[in-house]
Structure formats: C-alpha cells, structure tokens
Amino acid sequence: MPHAPLRDAFVLPEGLIYLNGNSLGALPRAARERMQQVTVAEWGQQLVAAWNTAGWVDLPLRLGDKIGQLIGAAPGQTLVCDSTSINIFKLLHAALQRRPERQLVLLEDTAFPTDNYIAEGLRGLRSNLVLQRLPAAQIPSALGPEVAAVLLSHVNYRTGARVDLPRLQQAATAEQIPVVWDLAHSAGAFPLQLDAWGVEFAVGCGYKFFNGGPGAPAFAYVAHAAQSRLQPILSGWFGHARPFAFEANYAPASGIGRLQVGTPPILSMSALDAAIDVLQGGDLADLWQRSCRLFEQMLATLEADPIFAQCTLLTPRRAEERGSQLSITHPQAWAICRALAAEGVIGDYREPGILRFGFAPAYVAEADVVTAAERLLRILRERRWDKPEYQHRPKVT
C-alpha cells in the first residue's frame, strides 16, 4: 500500500497530513472543475433553462441513486436534500407516525448532539414523547412494546465504535419498532447493505467521507415499502407530485422524492455529485481494507512507544466493531491537537478530552499515519503541547 489509490483525484496542500476527512472531506479535483462548469456554463450561460437542460431538476434523485450504490440501496430509495439534521427531523417524524400510541424514543447517550436536539424539537409535535438516552450497548435490551422509535448512529462520532446494525435492525423489526439510522460516520467509509439489512430509514452526511464540500447537502434513505405511508411534515413544493402544475393542495410525489422540500441548492449539490463520481471510481470494500491497515499501522506505531501509555484508546480494535477513525483520550488532548496542527498533522478535538484521527483511505496513505503517529509520540515525549498558544482555549460560544 505505497500510495492511496485515489490520491491524485484530490487536492491537498503540500506536506499536510490530513486526518480529518471524517469532519470535512478533502477537495476532489473533479469538484473544483464541476463548480466552474455549473457556475459558468450552466448558471451563467443557460440561466433558468438549466433546470432542464443541465438536469438540475432531477439532480436530487439522480445523485441519490448514485449514493444508493455506495450504501446498498436499489434505485428510488435515496434522495439528496437539506441537511442531516433536517432529514433526521423528517424521518423521525415519519417513524413516529407508525405507532402513535407509543411514546418512548430510544436515543444514544453519546450520539452526535444534533440527533438528540432534533428529537427534543419533535416534542413540539407530540408533547407526550419520552426521550430515553442509553449507551448504545444497552439499546438492544431496551427494545420492547412501549418503544415508538429508535434513533441511532451506526458509528459513534466520538469513539468510532460501530453498532451491529443488521442485528439491531432485525431485533427492532421483530418488535415492529422503526429505527432511524444516522450514517454520518459510516456511509462512504465502508460498504453498507441497507436493503439487505432491512433498514427502513436512514440519513447521512455529504461532506465527510463523501467529500462533497463544506455543508454539502445530506441524504435520506427510505425503503420502498415504507415510502407510500410517509406523509411529509415538511411538505414543500419540490416534494409535490406535480410541482410545476402549481396546484392549490399538497399531494406528495409518489416515491422518495416526497422528502424534497424547497428548491435544491444546486451549486453545493453539484460539488457533491462530482465527489461521488470519484468515490464510485474506487472500490469501497478495497478502501475499507486500506482504512483497516491505516488504523493498525497507526496504532502499532503508537503502541510501540511506552509514552503512549499516557493515552487511552477509545476506538474498538476489531475492524468489524468500528468505523474509519482512531480516537484517544489524554488530559492535554486540546493542546496536543493544536501542537499536531502546528506540525502539519490535522486531526480534531472533541469534548470531552478526545483526539480523533479520521482515515479517508481514498487519499490517506500509510506513510501519512506513521508520520502522524511519530509526531504525536514526539509531542508527548517532549511535552511539546506545553506552550501557551496551544493551551489557550477560545471560549466556546
């Protein structure tokens, strides 16, 4: 594995080791060119006609189907639209329609905050909802006839720990409990088989492993069987059966398209479209194998040095139990993260006291993670984190 297989498809600053593709994926060269295309040739020259001539109007569905290929979804079940947060709102609302007599929603205690925040907001709809937050490991045993829905991340953003999705989905289905999966840290990182696993509802992020650019639109997956019952709460004109008939009353589009709300942000969506093409040029199973070797190599380099005993590994060692990242804790995690950045290694800091390193195997090579590990060890050995500029923490506002 001398070189990342898709490295040349990405723009990366000279000398930078970028282990934060799980937060914001790097810029694909094709996305740079697509932005020129969509701005200059489409918007600039075709103007409003480009909704048809450049295929903008169908982009949310076409791009959704491309993403479907990367997550094991047959066509017509994946849509690109809005943000992950808003898509969670839509799908958790839909899930809660299923069993209106049930009031309990199971959530993960350390889920990415927006998942839980959105669930809180849904109490504006159903004030009797009870939100219960549990460690992911306790959710299987909490499934019971009082549970209205589960909202759960496939891979935890802090630790990288992976839930056994097929098993939990099966158990929930047996109890007739709809599950909304947040795939932000799994889609694009390793192969998913949503159809085969019996998933009904899932959302995911466009700007992490899919490299769609800052704040890229998210995607939503609804299995065919669950679509016709889905009455959108965000019933906007782009999700109408006949949006350009300008009818007086709302009638949802026949399939996944009903999850559209307003006019799609074509510029941002086009960058994601180009980025997805790049990823489809690779092989997700192969990329995941490479990610595993990156994880093992980085961890082996770290653990070969006794100074690493200062850190605690948060991420499960077994490949099938984790996503594409390596997380550790250290009392000086914040300052270490700053020191690493100053030395050209970009990971990130997450509360509480967590250093995360994400592996985007499309563009991260083995040499990168070995160098990153060596610099981290040197920072620990030489206490290079102990400088005022690294210790300084801007107030979180």
Positions in 298-317 near a second copy (CB under 8 A):
none
Does 297 participate in binding a second copy (rule CB under 8 A)? no
Minimum distance from residue 365 beta carbon to a second copy (Å): 17
Cβ distance to a second copy smaller for residue 94 or 377: 94
Coil vs helix vs strand at 172:
helix
> Considering only 119-127, 168-176, 222-230, 380-388, which stretch makes contact with a second copy by CB under 8 A?
119-127
How many other CB atoms sit within 10 Å of the CB of residue 247? Answer: 12
Residues 26-55 within binding reach of a second copy (CB under 8 A): 26-27, 31-32, 35-36, 39-40, 43-45, 47-51
Q: Does the protein bind a second copy through residue 116 (CB under 8 A)?
A: yes
List the one residue from 104, 106, 148, 218 that touches a second copy (CB under 8 A).
Answer: 218
Within 345-374, the residues that bind a second copy by CB under 8 A are: 346, 348, 350-351
Do 341 and 357 touch, CB atoms closer than 8 A? no
Residues 2 to 31 in contact with a second copy, rule: CB under 8 A: 11, 13, 16, 18, 20, 23-24, 26-27, 31
Q: Is 131 helix (H, G, I), strand (E, B) or coil?
A: strand
Tokens of 212: 């769609």
Catalytic residue (one of 18, 89, 157, 207):
207
Q: Residue 258's CB: how many other CB atoms inside 10 A?
A: 26
Structure tokens at 347: 């990971």
132 sits near a second copy (criterion: CB under 8 A)? no
Instruction: Please identify, among the stretches 134-142, 278-286, 291-299, 341-349, the one whose residues bind a second copy according to the rule CB under 8 A.
Output: 341-349
The answer to whether residue 207 is catalytic is yes
Task: Confirm or reject binding of residue 136 to a second copy (CB under 8 A).
Answer: no
333 binds a second copy (CB under 8 A): no
368 is catalytic: no
Known catalytic residue: 201? no
| Residue 215 or 331 having the CB closest to a second copy | 215
Number of residues that bind a second copy (CB under 8 A): 85
How far is the C-alpha of 19 from the C-alpha of 2, rounded, in Å?
17
Residues between 195 and 214 that touch a second copy (CB under 8 A)? 207, 213-214
Residue 107: how many other CB atoms lie within 10 Å: 22
For 358, left (φ over 0), alpha (ψ -120 to 50), or beta?
Answer: beta
In the complex, the smallest distance separating the C-beta of residue 115 from a second copy, rounded to whole angstroms, is 9
Report CA-CA distances (Å) from 254 to 128, 198, 234, 276, 356.
31, 21, 15, 26, 42
CA 282, 286, 288, 289 dihedral sign is negative
Which DSSP string do the residues of 228-295 spell out, in sequence order? TT---SS--GGGBSSGGGT-SS--B-SSGGGG--S---HHHHHHHHHHHHHHHTS-HHHHHHHHHHHH
Report the catalytic residues.
112, 182, 207-208, 356
